[in-house]
Amino acid sequence: MPATSPAHSQNTAAETTNLITVSRTSPREATSLCEELECGNILYFSEPPFLIPAEDREALLGQKQSSAAFHKNVAYRPAEDRVTGLDESDAAGAERLHAILRGYSQSAMKFLGELLTPYAGKWKLDYASFRPIEERGRVARLHARNDLPHVDAFPTRPTNGDRILRLFTNINPTQSRVWMTAPPFAAIAPYFAKSVGLPAAQWQGALSASLRKLARAVNWPGARRSPYDQFMHACHNAMKEDTAFQQSAAMQRWEFPPNATWMVLTDCVSHAVLEGQYALEQTFIISRAAMVRPELAPVAILERLAGHPLTGA
Ligand SMILES: [Fe+2]
């Protein structure tokens, strides 16, 4: 069971994260579940809410890091129906893994559309991933470390204020996946706005819009990154660099046992992965316009602090 008892939130952005257990026997309104997520809480299912075939799990667990190619996550890109990070020396295994990830991605999308109806159809299906590496002791460069609390920001896939929702399943039959969370973005934003510096107003006016269009047309590096995206990426890095923050922030520890599935808006929940091996994950980029509590979105928090718009929206 989770180390911290499930609790019901007060539906406000708080200093802590709550675990909201979702079960078939006590269904909740879709809007209320969205609100829990947007307040920085975790939606928790003790069993996967959609089928992950036993033979798929066995095939994934059989991936015993047989080669150096497996020392990274395997990513599935739904838009291209393509997998990266595969062990190419095993063509049959690669094909099988591709099919499993495609199936997980499609099941996750169908499930989310049925559960969180306010978001349905208002998202971009982002990457899915298989995480076969033990997280405890995993060696990575500082900004790539999973064990340091951070909010997510994808430098190559800017969201322009849209939200990053991730759904995870622990398919390890015996070992929990252990997370730590720090205070959510609403609580830490003023501190990191000072240390990182809030971006100036940009992208306003017809001339700026024309230049932006031109920069995008020629694929100018960073042309698609709004001031919001630039801040979020800088904040992600600053959180991992800031040892004083890591030592002084109030942390909560979470244990997701075998079979657990959970959903989090990882751009507002400061999270770190401490232990665990063999997880599946699907990322959704949810439109900012679909939020049921838009004032709690990181972009809204930052725009209030900055006093001006930070995206092209
Ligand atoms: Fe993350």
Determine if residue 186 is left, alpha or beta; phi over 0 gives left, psi from -120 to 50 gives alpha, anything else beta. alpha
- Average pLDDT of the residues of the chain: 88
What average pLDDT does this structure show over 215-234? 77
pLDDT band at 87 (very low <50, low <70, confident <90, very high): confident
pLDDT digits (tens, 9 = 90+) for 3-16: 333 333 444 556 78
Instruction: Compute the distance from residue 265 Cα to the ligand 1 centre, in Å.
Output: 10
State the residue for tokens 């890109």. 77
Instruction: Compute the distance from residue 139 Cα to the ligand 1 centre, in Å.
Output: 16
Instruction: Compute the distance from residue 146 Cα to the ligand 1 centre, in Å.
Output: 6
Residue 66 has pLDDT above 60, yes or no: no
Instruction: Compute the distance from residue 128 Cα to the ligand 1 centre, in Å.
Output: 13
CB 76 within 8 A of CB 128: yes
Residue 291 has pLDDT above 50, yes or no: yes
- Domains of the chain plus CATH, in order, are 19-306 (2.60.120)
Instruction: Compute the distance from residue 269 Cα to the ligand 1 centre, in Å.
Output: 9
Instruction: Compute the distance from residue 271 Cα to the ligand 1 centre, in Å.
Output: 6
Structure tokens at 118: 């306010």
State the residue for tokens 């989770």. 2
What average pLDDT does this structure show over 275-292? 97
Instruction: Compute the distance from residue 289 Cα to the ligand 1 centre, in Å.
Output: 23
Instruction: Compute the distance from residue 200 Cα to the ligand 1 centre, in Å.
Output: 26
| Predicted pLDDT of residue 313 | 58
pLDDT digits (tens, 9 = 90+) for 140-167: 899 999 999 999 999 999 999 999 999 9
